[in-house]
Amino acid sequence: MSTGCLFCNIVAKTTPAQIVFEDDHVLAFRDLRPVAPTHALVIPRKHITGVHDATAEDVEMLGRVMLAARDVAEKLGLAGSGYRLVVNQGANAGQSVLHLHCHVLGGRPMGWPPG
Ligand code: DGP
């Protein structure tokens, strides 16, 4: 828990969110500003600012985030059509919330390279 962290507050449920999945390690909820017909975020309960701050101790947590993202995509009906998982790191990637999160995006075709 990091004081003042928006996503820690969602984990603590002091800030409301539309939760779509949770277990002992991760939480998934709808993005407040969706950029695709389906847009959810998967976060670890543990506070870590981003993937660049992960260490070897975080290997299991990172795997859990990825598998939860897969499960969320399945639950939200994206498995058949496909989906994109995105982890933004730092300013050039547009990371705006400094608590590691994986975007689950789907419901429309997506271009490559990303903008
Ligand atoms: P990023 O730009 O990768 O740091 O993504 C942060 C995302 O978090 C962005 O898509 C909007 C979303 N977001 C910001 N504030 C809130 C909030 O209070 N609730 C929810 N559900 N999503 C939020």
CATH number where 68 lies: 3.30.428.10
Task: Based on the residue annotation, tell me whether 101 is a catalytic residue of this protein.
Answer: yes
111 occurs within a structural domain: no
pLDDT at position 110 is: 97
In this prediction, residue 30 carries a pLDDT of 98
Residue 115 has pLDDT above 90, yes or no: no
Q: Does residue 113 fall inside a structural domain?
A: no
Instruction: Find the catalytic residue in 47, 52, 101, 103.
Output: 101
Would 32 be classed as within a structural domain?
yes
What does pTM read for this prediction? 0.98
In tens, the pLDDT along 44-83 reads 999 999 999 999 999 999 999 999 999 999 999 999 999 9
Report, as an integer, the average pLDDT of 24-49. 98
pLDDT band at residue 3 using 50, 70 and 90 as cut-offs = confident
Could you give the number of structural domains in the chain? 1
With a cut of 90, say whether residue 1 has pLDDT above it: no
The 3-class SS string of 34-84 reads CCCCEEEEEEECCCCCCHHHCCHHHHHHHHHHHHHHHHHHHHCCCCCCCEE
**Ligand 1 centroid, distance to 31 Cα (angstroms):** 6
Classify residue 98: in a domain, yes or no: yes
Distance 102 CA to ligand 1 centre (A): 11
Q: Which domain holds residue 87?
A: 6-106
Query: Within a domain: residue 20?
Result: yes
Domain contains 13: yes
Ligand 1 site residues (CB inside 6 A) read: 6, 17, 29-33, 41, 88, 94-97
Across the range 94-114, mean pLDDT stands at 97
Whether the per-residue pLDDT at 90 is higher than 90: the answer is yes
Does a structural domain hold residue 64? yes
Classify residue 12 by its DSSP letter: H
Note whether residue 1 is domain-resident. no
pLDDT of residue 63: 98
